[in-house]
Structure 1
Amino acid sequence: MQESKRQKQVGQLVQQELSDIFQRMGFNVTDGGMISIATVRMTPDLLEARVYLSMFQIKDTSEMLQRIKEHSAEIRKDLGNRMSKQLRRIPELSFFLDDTLDYVFKMEELFKKINENPDAPQS
């Protein structure tokens, strides 16, 4: 189902505010890696925000995702303080790992292999 205009607007606003919150809390740069908020998808009733995180050069992504989930109440409280004028109810936050970057790197590797062996039989 297509997102409505309001869902997209609120999602972008939540994404901007969460980026600032992550930067303030020190989550954006940790252990020599970077975390960024790839996208935020809102449910039609705007009561849940699905936050997709992109992690670059993080050794244990599942552990980092768990750390972020442990701080989700604090993150939501900060989000509420920042967005109380725009939204009646602050959405519940659900964090997910965005593997788009991994997929891109995997596809680039496959294309390199194909270009190295153009005469190899295709399977």
Structure 2
Amino acid sequence: MQETKRQKQIGQLIQEELSNVFQRMGFNVVEGGMISIAAVKMTPDLLEAKVYLSMFQIKSPNEMLERIKDRMGEIKKALGLRVGKQLRRMPELAFFLDDTLDYVFKMEELFKKIKEDDSHIKGDNQ
């Protein structure tokens, strides 16, 4: 189902403000790696926000996700102070790992391998 304009607007607002909250809480640069908010998808009733986190060079992304979830109350409070005037109700937040970067890296590796295999096959035929 297509997202409405309002869902996109609220998702964008939450994404921007949550990025600021993460920066203030020190979650954006952790253990030599980086965490960014890749996307926020809102439900049609705007009461739930699915927050997709992109983790770059984080040793244990699932463990880091749990650490973030453990501080959910603190995160929601800080976010509520920032967006409270613009929303009737603060949406429930659900955090997920965004594996888009992993997917991109895997695809690049596959394309490299195909190209190498292709060049070996062409080399054998000559």
Shorter-chain TM-score tier: over 0.9
Unaligned runs of 5+ in 1: none
Q: Deviations over 1:5-50 (max 9, x none)?
A: 0000000000000000000000000011000000000001101100
**Root mean square deviation of aligned Cα:** 0.9
TM-score, normalisation: structure 2: 0.93
Counterpart for residue 11 of structure 2? 11
1:53 partner SS = strand
Alpha-carbon distance, 1:78 to partner: 0.7
TM-score, normalisation: structure 1: 0.96
Alpha-carbon distance, 1:84 to partner: 1.1
Tell me the matched-pair count.
120
Between Structure 1 and Structure 2, the one with more helix by share is 2
CA distance in 2, matches of 1:62, 1:84: 30
Counterpart for residue 73 of structure 1? 73
- The one-letter code of the counterpart of 2:23 is Q
Q: Deviations over 1:77-98 (max 9, x none)?
A: 1111111110010001000000
Larger radius of gyration: 2
1:8 partner SS = helix
1:51 partner SS = strand
Counterpart for residue 89 of structure 2? 89
Counterpart for residue 25 of structure 1? 25
